[in-house]
Amino acid sequence: MCGIFCSVSFSVEHFSKDLKEDLLYNLKQRGPNSHKQLLKSDVNYRCLFSGHVLHLRGVLTTQPLEDERGNVFLWNGEVFSGIKVEAEENDTQIMFNYLSSCKSESDILSLFSKVRGPWSFIYYQASSHYLWFGRDFFGRRSLLWHFSNLGKSFFLSSVGAQTAGVANQWQEVPASGIFRIDLKSTTVSKCVILKLYPWIYISRENVTEECVNSLTQISADLPTFVSVVANEAKLYLKKPVVPLNMMLPQAPLETHCNDISSIPPTRETLQVLLNDGHMKEVIQQFIDILSVAVKRRVLCLHRDENLAPNEVLKTCARRANVAILFSGGIDSMVIATLADRHIPLDEPIDLLNVAFMTKEKTVSASFNKKMSKQKNHGEIPSEECSKNAAAAAPAAADAAANPDKQFSVPDRITGRAGLKELQAINPSRIWNFVEINVSLEELQKLRRTRICHLVQPMDTVLDDSIGCAVWFASRGLGWLVTQDEVKSYQSTAKVVLTGIGADEQLAGYSRHRVRFQTHGLEGLTKEIVMELGRISSRNLGRDDRVIGDHGKEARFPFLDENVVSFLNSLPIWEKANLTLPRGIGEKLILRLAAVELGLTASALLPKRAMQFGSRIAKMESNNEKASDKCRRLQIISLENFSTEKDIKS
């Protein structure tokens, strides 16, 4: 994880040798381990490069890098496969070595087509006066652009900075491919021409698919002096995943499930499905591929190997290197179970569970009412309702006496239940269940001083809710509650695993069920295509900026290229069966995998969005729509910026 930045000016009077203080601060938050700036001057233009590194693997490599020919490289990414990077090597240096040896445009595109893992980059090619930049296919790393002064300057940055009273001018660089600007010709033409090298899939029949993001769509929100054009040679990047399987069943889907349609939705229901030999084989393949994805993400990081042997045995001497955004739901439970397979046994795992203070004394009673209603509709098993009721009832009884019960939100209840499941699977592991409690006052203060700058340019009510929830969760500042004591805790893990991508691929959202009910499997399949196509602009840049603000790196196992390709290759009914009730039908393949992994109640929990499970959506306004512009994000105030630096992340 790094904070990367580049400014280009085509006139001396508009060139600044220094970053603005607020932007520099935001970049340093992302990369606390090293900082460096580099100036490059030409007769026609001036460039300022700034790199801020979070050291995670190999030798600490300060950015920007420059070679003997004057080429400059900024890299914010992880090479998990595709290009060989030894354990002791740094992928930034490896990538730059390859780039420096590239002889043509096609060589550069071939290099980035091979990389498996999240990335954004900026590369200045001195001899040709080209500036290359872009994001990976899914947009898992943030990169923003900002054009100003009628084409006299432009900026690229991992994160922006907002100015009071000024409409947001930063925009996310589309994850449509790699862009190239000819800096020398731009000086002459007085307009910025972005040449796009798009992601294209080539099938075995050598038939290319249409580029999803058209040039017109990309240009729509750009100033008039900026244009996006296709590269003349029609070169492209090879898409790292196969297209979605659009096949439909020959018979109606219901006929596949006649033998279990009358069985109540319990763990036994899933077990019946696993009795099918083909399905069991598919599930094992899925587990194996997802396990490798998790393994890469928990082992590709620097670990402290210098502890004395006697220190290793002490709980206090071992720090967690990996944390998981943890609700106790199916996504985070499967990730935690697989992470447990690969993380050294003497190393704790931090489970980050966030809750926002409720207006009422407790939400447990209302949560029980909802669970009871779902039970009556056959949506979750009765034994699961009983467990939730048992967990929630004591909370309702002593809420008035114990203010902490104001944080007994649904995700806290399921999180604690999930913790017990994990402890049963591996009692030898130290599972740090970190209870992160956020008051309305703290939410409003830190949204104003930190979070609004990170969520932008995203600006909806949903962006506000999820952005704030993820920021507080990934900060990892909370409490460890055990049978013996309650103590404050700050997670030091630099890697944060999240479950993003599971719902989008496996029909996890309620809108998927609506789509299936109105348009059948064909409509559902098209919805999944749309979900994957927009995930870069809808989720990932925002979450990367928010998590990166704590000097931590977000990693997304469900968006591993091999995982996505495997899931894309399956027909839709092997991944989800929405003729089955909630808690079973959505994300069916993941629930079956959970059963195979030994999980119990969590395998049957219905989908609950983070903004509702953490109760942030109930904090301030109950009559907003998720898609509304969020007025709270528009209140951009820098008057307290000098105090921001005192806020510990």
Element (H, E) at 229: strand 226-230
- pLDDT at 205 (0 to 100): 53
- pLDDT at 179 (0 to 100): 97
- Residue 43 pLDDT grade (very low, low, confident, very high; cuts 50, 70, 90): confident
- pLDDT at 440 (0 to 100): 93
What letter would DSSP give residue 210? P
Largest distance between two CA atoms of the chain: 77
Q: Is 2 a catalytic residue?
A: yes
- Decide if pLDDT at 381 tops 70: no
Q: What angle do CA 557, 76, 202 make, to 5 degrees?
A: 65
Report d(CA 364, CA 404) in Å as an integer.
Answer: 13
Pairing of strands 171-172, 144-148: antiparallel
- Decide if pLDDT at 386 tops 80: no
Segment 124-134, tens digit of pLDDT? 999 999 999 99
What single letter denotes the amino acid at residue 211?
A: C
- What count of other Cβ atoms lies within 10 Å of the Cβ of residue 15? 18
- pLDDT at 263 (0 to 100): 54
Stretch 280-308: mean pLDDT: 87
Supply φ then ψ for residue 603, to 5 degrees. -65, -15
- CA dihedral 121→126→131→133, nearest 10 degrees, is -10
Query: Looking at the domain 264-644, which fold is it?
Result: Rossmann fold (3.40.50)
- Residue 244 pLDDT grade (very low, low, confident, very high; cuts 50, 70, 90): very high
- Residue 428 pLDDT grade (very low, low, confident, very high; cuts 50, 70, 90): very high
Q: In 326-444, which ranges are E strands?
A: 349-356, 431-438
> Which residues contact residue 282 at a Cβ distance below 8 angstroms, ignoring those fewer than 6 apart?
570, 574, 589
Q: Which residue of the set 2, 6, 385, 468 is catalytic?
A: 2
**Percent of residues, the chain, with pLDDT higher than 90:** 62
Instruction: Look at 565 and 637; give whichever has higher pLDDT.
Output: 565
Least confident of 65-74, 152-161, 427-436: 152-161
Stretch 578-594: mean pLDDT: 93
Whether the model clears a pTM of 0.85, i.e. scores above it, the answer is yes
Whether omega before 64 lies within 30 degrees of 0, making that bond cis, reads yes
- Decide if pLDDT at 151 tops 70: no
The H-assigned helical ranges of 300-363 are 309-312, 330-342
**How much is the CA Rg of the chain, to the nearest whole Å?**
25
| CATH number of the 2-238 domain | 3.60.20.10
- In the structure encoding, which two tokens stand for residue 324, read together? 């998981």
Least confident of 287-301, 534-548, 627-641: 627-641
Stretch 239-259: mean pLDDT: 75
- pLDDT at 189 (0 to 100): 79
> Which residues contact residue 602 at a Cβ distance below 8 angstroms, ignoring those fewer than 6 apart?
328, 329, 330, 333, 414, 417, 418, 421, 594
Q: 281-307 burial, b for 16+ CB within 10 Å, e for fewer? A: ebbeebbebbbbbbbbbbbbbeeeeee
- pLDDT at 567 (0 to 100): 98
Q: Which residues of the chain are in CATH 3.60.20.10 domains?
A: 2-238
Q: Which residues of the chain are in CATH 3.40.50.620 domains?
A: 264-644
- Decide if pLDDT at 353 tops 50: yes
